[in-house]
Amino acid sequence: MIAGLGVALPPSTVQDELWDGYFARHYAAGGRRGLAQRIFANSGVRTRQAAVSPLLEDVSDWSTERRMRRYQVEAVPLGKEAVGRALTDAGVAADEVGLFAVCSCTGYATPGLDILLARDMGMSPALQRLFVGHMGCYAALPGLGAAADFVAARGRPALLLCTELTSLHLQPPDNRVDIQQIVSHALFSDAAAAVVLSPGAVGGYVVMDVTALTDTTTAGHMTWDVTDMGFRMGLSAQVPDVLSMHVRALVEDLLGRNGLTVGEVDGWAVHPGGPRILDVVQERIGLTDDDLAASRGVLAAYGNCSSPTVLLVLEELRRRGTPPRHVVMLAFGPGLTLYGVLLSRL
């Protein structure tokens, strides 16, 4: 059962200020400025966070090595803050945690966040650790499934942390009209979110089921390539079309095998990969504007933070006066892969 959730965010900046103060200049060459400005304006993002803000520090010409060193500097305190809040929310001590799972696709080093945070926060030397890398925006959901399975099998608390610093992967300017890079620069943001799952917790959500679907015929539609200048996003405009083909069947299968229908779900935590993705999910499943208000609100306030984002939406749902009884979490990423999780209050 989900017993606690904690969020940590770097400093926030208004989207228009990012455009005026940096990206208008970044896209000045090659006739790209007008197109880029329209993409930024239509991104659905009003504010977003950056551990390394381009308004203060331009990393676009940094080597991958330099970016990875900075990742450790920024990610450790951010992850520590999110974990501390989640443990406090759950009423669980750090040394009680049996499994610590960390998801991140924006930075790698050894010893990694799992080792450093376990050491700094006083977790047990017998702690089991799991690192999930390069799954991208949907990583929180298989991470949540692994943590829930551990709790069910071992009867001990588990902790999941998702930390992403997409700001470190700002790409250098060139003269090409690369719409995929413009879109990624307009959407992505930094955040950390942590979840504690504990046996016998009262009042939280039970992870009822986890489902996945991967369409490998569209594997090239979403990529995250390691280059000498950081990690480079590939994001095809056809991604929403692929989701449109699969998302309804995925949701109906998840709900059907648990004796539920779409109409009985009163909470939807859909990863806000962008406005078009939310539009497609809403249309194909038949959701209302209110059903996706939390997802659109997170996109506007925080941007697309990759793996933590769907947990930010879950936290938004938890803040409501009457928390929903059944929540479907959906997230999408490389593969193309769709992941779904059903949460219920019993």
Are 338 and 213 spatial neighbours (Cβ–Cβ below 8 Å)?
A: yes
Active-site annotation holder among 103, 137, 162, 305: 137
- Pairwise CA distance, residues 48 & 29, whole Å: 25
Contact partners, residue 19, CB within 8 Å, separation at least 6: 37, 40
Strand pairing class (2-8; 190-197): antiparallel
- The tokens describing 275, both together, are 């406005």
Could you give the CA distance from residue 100 to residue 156 in angstroms, rounded to a whole number?
11
In 3-state terms, the chain is what percent helix, strand and coil (to 5)? 45, 25, 35
Q: How far apart are CA 233 and CA 235, in angstroms?
A: 6
Which position has the token pair 């806000």? 272
Is 137 a residue of the active site?
A: yes
Say if residues 225 and 106 touch (Cβ distance below 8 Å): no
Which are the contacts of 14, defined by CB distance < 8 A and separation ≥ 6? 46, 47
User: Which residues have a Cβ under 8 Å from the Cβ of 97 and sit 6 or more positions away?
Assistant: 87, 123, 124, 127, 156, 157, 158, 159, 196
- Main-chain phi, psi angles of 122, to 5 degrees: 75, 30
| β-pair partners for 207 | 343
Question: Cis omega before residue 125 (within 30°)?
Answer: no
Beta sheet of 267-270, edge-to-edge order = 206-214, 337-344, 326-333, 267-270
Burial of 266 (0-12, 13-18, 19+ CB in 10 A): middle
Q: How far apart are CA 188 and CA 273, in angstroms?
A: 9
Joined together, the tokens standing for residue 200 give 């016998």
Phi, psi values for residue 125, rounded to 5°: -60, -20
**Catalytic site residues?**
137
